[in-house]
Homo-oligomer: A and B are copies of this chain.
Amino acid sequence: MTSKPLATLDTSLIPRLPQSYVTLFEAKKNKKLSFEDIAKHVGREEVIIAAIFYGQAMASPEDIQKLSELLEIPQDVLESQLSGYPDRGRTMDMPPKEPLIYRLYEIVQNYGYAYKAVLNEKFGDGIMSAISFSTKVEKETDDKGDWAVITLRGKWLPYSRF
């Protein structure tokens, strides 16, 4: 658990999000829970829990049950609100204007061809899946300060021969 302020929902994003997510963020704020706290309770990674809150990932029935317990939102309410398939990508305008997210975009812009060349030489012709995929965020600290480490791990999919 962290002593930093908690992430809350920017209210200007609300029109882009299914209304149920407002409820999730409200409960998180009232309960003073970090995504790390919630992730531990649900048994999933912090990033995917945050993605569920932003309408970018699907909660399983078990996830809904655990979120219901922890956030004290009636389970049938949450079930009704979270059961649909997410319409991913709608919260974000590209290119991103938020400096933190832009830095990730810039990494793709600058190193995109380098990643492609290295991945092709290691794996052949194909892609790294963003679906059969997981990601996590870690914090490292050394004498120069804090470092954020983001790991992207995706299944390699070779192009089918046809």
Contact = CB atoms under 8 A, between A and B. Distances in A.
A137 B120 CA distance: 11
A45 to B, nearest CB: 5
A58 B152 CA distance: 25
A117 B139 CA distance: 14
Contact of A150 (B44, B50, B128): B128
B98 A116 contact: yes
Q: Give the one of A90, A91, A123, A157 with max B CB within 10 A.
A: A157
A48 interface: yes
Contacts of A99: 88-89, 106, 110, 127, 130-131
B110 A128 contact: no
A74 to B, nearest CB: 18
Given A85-B116, A118-B137, A154-B103, A18 B7 contact: no
Nearest to A54: B113
Given A7-B120, A86-B125, A149-B151, 20 more contacts: A6-B121, A7-B85, A9-B84, A10-B90, A12-B15, A12-B16, A85-B117, A94-B97, A100-B119, A101-B108, A104-B112, A122-B139, A126-B131, A128-B148, A131-B157, A132-B158, A133-B159, A134-B160, A147-B153, A149-B153
